[in-house]
Amino acid sequence: MVMTERPAHVPLVAACRALALNRSTVYAWRRYVVNDEPPRRSRKASVQPRALSAEERATVLETLHSEPHQDQPPAEVYQRLLEHDQYLCSVSTMHRLLRRVGEHGDRRPQRPAQHHAIPRLVAHAPHDVWSWDISKLPLIRRGRYLSLYVVLDLFSRFVVAWMVSLKENSALAKQLMDEATERYGIQPGQLPMHQDRGAPMIAHGYLDQMRELDVTCSHSRPRVSNDNPFSESQFKTQKYQPDYPGRFDSVSHARQWCEGYFDWYNFDHHHSGLAGFTPEQVFTGRYREVAKQKQRALDARYECTPERFVRNRPIVPMPPSSVAINPIKTNTENATVLEDRVNFPTLPAAGYKKSTLSLK
């Protein structure tokens, strides 16, 4: 054998690794050669001294197949036999014997495991993808909640529509989507709509309405909140505001507060995911003009005190050219980027006003 002829300076571990051998195999071979001891068999192949004989196994199976016990589980059969002063084997042994003959498991037809596709959406411009969700706003009265519907443009994080209601149902969702798509002039087949699997999002009436509008519906996987991260992040931003009441007095109180919040969020909130630009600036394309203004301020400060900028001249970062849910990434030499890249769009901003759609 090669192992006996290996040089003395080569360790047994290195030799076994080079030959893809297990050291236990080598030790067993040595005992067989030196002591004339037969090699040990594996535990599964060896016969256990306490195992049931073939006759005993046949008796157990015959008992389990008999008319009084054929429709009962092994635990029930075991207890019945004990009441009649009979002991054949343990419950686990009954299960093992039934498993060996292919008779173990549920007899009823079982629902197969569900495999939901991972939602993957990429937005390269405003109105490429919308995402929406519903959050609960608690009232002062314990156990009473309002429903806040929020529709978000994925690319710019701009809240295109919102609604506060006493109820949560598909009829309100249909009204919200119908008016929002009409307000922004969404063309048939233009817009994918992403949502989770709440009751209003999977209701037949809502899905029928989306088909009539020719809007493609995308749903999160069950119990996977990360599949709708941008809507969830917006709700966290909302409820972490210093002036968030925590509990509202009434529907009118909630609508009044939400109106001020969404105006701030869209037009004054410098979003960290947009390189410090506001959702409105990215939504309308004004971010380029604002970036030039920011760059002039940085250049002026750099000319005055260049020694304070140890990493050379500062450059204003730009918003991402594409935003994705569960993106497929590819590695490049410099960074990890989205597989599908396009240039950042420029939208006309002339005459744009604060006109977020709010349904009462």
Q: Where are the domains of the chain?
A: 2-34, 54-100, 122-257, 279-359
224-238 residue pLDDT tens: 888 999 999 999 999
Class at the top of the CATH hierarchy for domain 122-257: alpha beta
> How many Å apart are CA 235 and CA 72, to the nearest integer?
52
Residue 350: predicted pLDDT: 38
- For residues 252 and 165, give the distance between their C-alpha atoms in angstroms, rounded to a whole number: 10
Quick one: pLDDT at residue 111?
82
Side-chain-side CA neighbours of 352 within 13 Å: the count stands at 15
Is the confidence at residue 56, as pLDDT, over 80? Answer: yes
The per-residue pLDDT of the chain, averaged, comes to: 86
Residue matched to tokens 């005190």: 305
What is the arithmetic mean of pLDDT over 194-214? 93
pLDDT band at 331 (very low <50, low <70, confident <90, very high): low
More confident residue, 37 or 201: 201
Least confident of 28-37, 128-137, 195-204: 28-37
Banded pLDDT at 336 (limits 50, 70, 90):
very low
Distance CA 200, CA 134 (A): 9
